[in-house]
Amino acid sequence: MTDTRTPPPLTGDERTVLTNWLEWHRATLAVKCAGLSDEQLRTRSAPPSSLSLLGLVRHMAHVERSWFRRVLNGEDVHKLWGKDRDNDADFNEVDTASVEEAFATWREEIERARAISAAKPLDAVGDRNGQDCTHRWILVHMIEEYARHNGHADLLRERIDGVTGE
């Protein structure tokens, strides 16, 4: 497993620190998935859980889209992967899902999120189900979301081929 991540800086303004930690965690998920076959990426954790690395990538694509595009930018974009009919479709429906499409969509949503984030002040306010939500809060939440799921990814990767790491 090749690790090409850049560690977040130990100093910097708030935006620099937050965005670099988010980038670190985005890259961590990519590292956890690197070098695996489609079948390995679909490998489930343990019954009854439907958790898989591919499911995590699909989930994070949806999360990026939801928080940055829908909440922060006010875009009326549809939910990914059939989540409008099954809230866990991103995890449940990986057996025949396209790995290439999932990773391309995740990368695309990250690029859009980066552009939206770069254009907004940290105090910018979005709407989450009728409640105000700041850009700052979204960045902190995204770091937390990735950190939690990267812990899952670490366990999944270790189960698949014994590889561990930060």
Domains of the chain: 14-161 (1.20.120.450)
What does the pLDDT look like over 115-131, one tens digit per residue? Answer: 999 999 999 999 999 99
Q: Which amino acid is at 154?
A: D
The candidate with the shortest Cα–Cα distance to 151, out of 49, 59, 53, is: 53
Query: What average pLDDT score do residues 69-95 get?
Result: 94
pLDDT band at 104; cut points 50, 70, 90? very high
- 151 has pLDDT over 70: yes
Question: What is the per-residue pLDDT for 1?
Answer: 56
Question: What is the per-residue pLDDT for 42?
Answer: 97
Query: What average pLDDT score do residues 88-107 get?
Result: 96
- 80 has pLDDT over 80: yes
CB contact burial 5-36 (16+ within 10 A = b; e otherwise): eeebeeeeeeeebbbbbbbbbbbbbbbbbeeb
What is the spatial distance between Cα 41 and Cα 99, in angstroms, rounded to a whole number? 8
What does the pLDDT look like over 64-75, one tens digit per residue? Answer: 999 999 999 999
What does the pLDDT look like over 15-30, one tens digit per residue? Answer: 999 999 999 999 999 9
